[in-house]
Structure 1
Amino acid sequence: MEGSSTTSTVIHKLISTDDPVPHKTARLSHSRFSYAFRVNPGQKVLRLHFNPAQYRGFKSFKDLFSVEVGPFTLLSNFSASLFANALGVNSFVKEFGINIEENQHYLNIIFSPENSQSLDTYAFINGIEIMSVPTSLSYYYGGDIGVQVVGKSPVYVDSSTALEIIHRLNIKQDSVSSTANNIGNMFGIWESGPNRKAREVKNITWKVPVDVGFKYLVRLHFSEIGFKMAEIGGLIYKVHINEIIVSTNIDIVTEKDDENSIPWYRDYIVMMKGRKQEGKRELLICLESNDEFMDGQGPLKGFEIMKLSNPDNSLSSPHPLPPARDSSHWIIKNLVKVLGWRNMIATLTIIGLALVNISIYTLLQIWGASRTEEENKPSAKGCNDFVAGFTS
């Protein structure tokens, strides 16, 4: 580890946590610091744990920093306190995919506070995990192999791309006999589908909010029972991503070469276009069947959504906003927390600018919605038996 920093513990014990590893000790610094981990070549998942509580010697809501790994900017102008506050959680985990080349021996992670001594900004981290990704589950493709873009030609995702793991969902509540196809045995943190009474359904839609202006890798995991039913013609289904059909029961059967090459998962690229002022849009994944099946016993076992780094090697995105009805109050309150009252004129000026930006942002949303309504509105037919929404 390099750089000047200190270790501090949480002053007030958390009542609850959303992080299965609730780290209560943090490494904090008003200046840049870094970690160097010796690792083997290959793809890694980097997991950063943040517990934005109050720490001795550091003021709340003053954390504002960037995180870099090699040429990639994973986070920029990032406040873990504002992020957690907006999502209504106590702690959270950010997961990223990074490739280590053959000539690399270390994974270097740099934490840099924003340069503003007067604001007492600082960077911090509670925990770091690094995991190797099995070759069979790699998100990267070599040679001339491309990933199908929904509605367009394939694109190439190689080891020069970084990714952020946005969402993982384990749809089925029970495990399957095939170890290779058991999501519970896969690395990473998976969210389980809601425990609800099984019922007969035809269509299910999952809505996941994602940042606009990025490409996303969507990986669909198929179940063993779903494959067998499709093979004997007992289940006819279609999978839509953003209202475009990407997979059917016929596709998964015809792609099988032998018992050892069953396509347990398929990858797709989704382009989420839009203005940055829009913040987020919903990425839709829909399972549509002509026949009713028991909820949780369909062809899909789960899915993953990964954000891909842009041409600037950045994964950085704006902070999430709270619900629209209290967004202006939330912004003003947290600006005061970050800036304080030492410079009343400057603070009031910034608050005024924030209110103006909110008004402009609202107008842009209305204007943008009117232009893209037909392109982005949910389908009026199909995929409406059950809808599941998520926060991001």
Structure 2
Amino acid sequence: MSDALPTESSSPDRGTSAAPYDALLLLSFGGPEGPDDVVPFLENVTRGRGIPRERLEEVGQHYYLFGGVSPINEQNRELLAALREDFAANGLDLPVYWGNRNWAPYLTDTLRDMVRDGHRRVLVLATSAYASYSGCRQYRENLAESLAALRAEGLPVPRVDKLRHYFNHPGFVDPVVDGVVASLAELPEDVRAAAHLTFTTHSIPTAAADTSGPEEAHGDGGAYVAQHLDVAELITEAVRKRTGTAHPWSLVYQSRSGPPSVPWLEPDICDHLEELHGKGVPGTVMVPIGFVSDHMEVLYDLDTEAMAKAAELGLPARRSPTVGADPRFAAAVRDLVLERAAAERDESPVRCALGALGPSHDLCPVGCCPARTPKPAAAGADAPEF
């Protein structure tokens, strides 16, 4: 990590004013909370794609292994509590709400509650740290749809702004570093020093990756791949400083879906484990940097499938934890809220960021992570007027 960049311990004193904002919305993906929810939830996720029910029931088996319950909603409740606790402890008087794209509490319902509670300037924290269509613009499209629904109901329509990408904020990076160090210590001592760090994130279509981020970032892998590579380097270097060992590392992908004819980012995590084993690598720590919490794609694709593959190969493996509701992440969100509020007041806040890429933009520019089918998207330079 660059010592010239701010760290959490040296974060600037931003005061406690969130003005002009009067509420924060935690916006997430959602997940089923019982067996009867699984197929309806998957129908919500895949609406408009023409996927047959039989295929949804097949995918639903992943959830049934865990009682039909995705952990994501409970993890969001924990993050919600952590944010409220951090805000209160640090004098930030800003109510925090929670809404989901695909399951209760639904985004439109939450925004309706917010405007009825009198809120008109809303900041949005999406539980996705990186630039991509599915990780950023699609959330913005959902916001635009919900705001249009409020307008159609004759309700006041709040202004919404989305917090910048936080993949390289120290409050996101530092807890991951701690988890990697702890996971390395859990490996057998004779393989620990030569263990490989396998950074994982959600695979997306290569076309979506190539057009992720602002237009100037478009190209091979776009901002999506560049941001993950930057974070992986940050974590690897921080682990070296903590342990004295420079571990080899790679970025791989998981959780791909869609037809085989569509190219997605590779290599897949299980294929990569086979490759490591074939090269004589003695052990690995899987680091899910692409995920904010240990939700279903972490529990099934890593803890179930990938760990089973590692066991089959006889490859010692551990999976390090995600950030979740770590107090440092809650503090990072507070920092991002106060930073954005200061910028909206035409101040010039110092922006905490680690690594080579620096802080992301506040406002998604035109052409950033373009939609497959053009749709209105809120909280961007091309946002519609409501």
The two structures share one fold, judged by TM-score above 0.5? no
Higher RCO (C-alpha 8 Å, min separation 6): 2
Range of TM-score over shorter length: under 0.3
Structure with higher Rg: it is 1
Q: Which has the higher strand share?
A: 1
TM-score by length of structure 1 reads 0.25
Q: Which has the higher helix share?
A: 2
TM-score by length of structure 2 reads 0.25
